């Protein structure tokens, strides 16, 4: 099954064009393209590789004893609401972290030390369930290179409202304009935002794309930014930071060309 997705409306940064994608309706691996998920950390060019999206069959969340089973297409907001309603703790940060379950697991998403792998039990792939201990993961990284159809988490009773307040405050300094979240991963012992500001790029624009004046590691869309605008600013940040500090910035945003 095919569908057309307009990435200028679908992606969180609101950059892109209408592109045909294939909807995956049954468990299978893909080897000839990219699974876009919720497109919350994507920058999609007008000529990307073949794109896929999970069908509604993989949008679910259910309790199974002391386990929580979630489909790969389930949005973070739905997971957050379910946990809050059922007094489940450990995933409070999902209230402030957009994405679908598959993408969140693949990048070990989180806020500071609170990350998706903390409560993870296993991940469901096309042909088998793999336990957490058999998946390499680190800060905002896993070695997963397959489609994630679902994941199982250990339940921790007691939704933590104080922790939710802490996450809300952490997000208070982030821009309201459309963005794809943090553009670059923080280098060890430093912050990408500090480095981008230090090389004079905070608030700098290219067309309608801009390094945010609120948080320099956020690439925002002020109106109708193009892929070329955004890509130029990303490349310029990498160039200037390397020339000034000898540090190679690594994208957290995924660029599809």
Q: Tell me whether strands 254-256 and 42-44 are parallel, antiparallel or unpaired.
A: parallel
Does residue 240 carry a catalytic annotation? no
For 9-18, b/e burial (b = at least 16 CB within 10 A) is ebbbbbbbee
What residues contact 47, with CB distance under 8 A and at least 6 apart? 257
Q: Which of 78, 140, 146, 240 is catalytic?
A: 140
First to last CA, the chain: 23
> For residues 23 and 109, is the Cβ–Cβ distance under 8 A?
no
What residues contact 215, with CB distance under 8 A and at least 6 apart? 173, 174, 175, 193
Tokens, residue 88: 């489940």
What residues contact 201, with CB distance under 8 A and at least 6 apart? 211, 216, 233, 236, 237, 240
For residue 234, give the nearest of 201, 200, 257 by alpha carbon: 201
DSSP assigned state of 93: G
Cα separation, 41 vs 104, in Å, equals 10
Tokens, residue 223: 């109106």
Does residue 252 carry a catalytic annotation? yes
Cα separation, 114 vs 251, in Å, equals 21
Does residue 182 carry a catalytic annotation? yes
What residues contact 143, with CB distance under 8 A and at least 6 apart? 135, 136, 137
> Which residues form the catalytic set?
140, 182, 252
């Amino acid at each position: 099954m095919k569908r057309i997705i307009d990435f200028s409306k679908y992606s969180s940064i609101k950059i892109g064009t209408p592109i045909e994608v294939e909807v995956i309706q049954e468990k299978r691996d893909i080897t000839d393209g990219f699974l876009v998920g919720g497109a919350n950390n994507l920058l999609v060019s007008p000529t990307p590789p073949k794109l896929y999206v999970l069908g509604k069959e993989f949008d679910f969340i259910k309790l199974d004893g002391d386990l929580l089973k979630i489909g790969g297409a389930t949005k973070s907001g739905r997971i957050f609401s379910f946990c809050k309603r059922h007094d489940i703790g450990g995933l409070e940060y999902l209230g402030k972290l957009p994405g679908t379950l598959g993408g969140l697991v693949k990048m070990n998403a989180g806020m500071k030390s609170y990350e998706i792998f903390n409560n993870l039990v296993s991940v469901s792939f096309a042909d088998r369930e793999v336990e957490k201990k058999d998946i390499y993961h680190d800060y905002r990284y896993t070695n997963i290179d397959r489609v994630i159809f679902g994941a199982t988490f250990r339940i921790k009773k007691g939704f933590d409202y104080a922790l939710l307040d802490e996450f809300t405050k952490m997000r208070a300094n982030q821009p309201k304009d459309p963005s794809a979240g943090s553009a670059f991963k923080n280098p060890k012992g430093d912050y990408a935002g500090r480095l981008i500001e230090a090389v004079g790029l905070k608030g700098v624009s290219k067309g309608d794309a801009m390094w945010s004046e609120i948080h320099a590691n956020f690439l925002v869309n002020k109106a109708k930014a193009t892929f070329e605008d955004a890509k130029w600013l990303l490349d310029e940040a990498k160039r200037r930071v390397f020339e000034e500090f000898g540090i190679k910035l690594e994208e957290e945003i995924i660029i599809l060309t």
